[in-house]
Amino acid sequence: MTTDTLTTTQVYRVYIKATPEAIWTAITDPSWTERYGYTNRADYELRPGGAYRSTASEAMKRGAEAAGIPLPEVVVDGEVLEAHPPHRLVQTFRMLMAPEAAAEGFTRLTYEIAETKGGVTKLTVIHELEGAPNLALIVGGQQEELGAGGGWAWVLSDLKSLLETGQPMDWDDGLKR
């Protein structure tokens, strides 16, 4: 991935053996978002103009404390721009847990969910990152070795595993479920 790609638009696509409704629920229901990826709690008001807040999980708090890194209660916030269950969610996204990324302001995040054949659904995540090079590095997985996780690829791999097997990946990252 080039720096230009990292700092403008990132597109991730994964095929999951699950229904569009199951994927929608896993993205928007806090009881699901706490089970994969960074294990944070995502709360959505699923209407245009509605709030989006993602709060730090206990595992995230422990990891930040152990590393001596201050962590706000709300780690990501934004606003819902479009909500068309179970096929499309568009929102703004501002990462607050990394001061450099928070200073870059809001970016645009789109989830597109499309049923294909054989009980498989295509999930496409489009993150528009114009003017947000620090966030682009984080969500692009370029700071994984610094303890920032593997970005969207990491989150989507964990989501796929959870939906297909009932269990998240066994990441050796301190985010024990």
pLDDT score for 119? 94
Quote the pTM value.
0.89
What is the layout of strands, in order, in the sheet containing 51-55?
9-16, 121-128, 107-115, 88-95, 74-84, 51-55, 41-44
CA atoms of 125 and 127, how far apart (whole Å): 6
Q: Which residue has the higher pLDDT, 62 or 54?
A: 54
Quick one: pLDDT band at residue 7, thresholds 50, 70, 90? low
What is d(CA 177, CA 163) in angstroms, rounded to the nearest whole number?
15
Residue 147 has pLDDT above 60, yes or no: no
pLDDT at 3 over 60: no
**CATH among 3.40.50.280, 1.10.10.60, 3.30.530.20, 2.170.270.10 for 3-165:** 3.30.530.20
Q: What is the pLDDT of residue 174?
A: 47
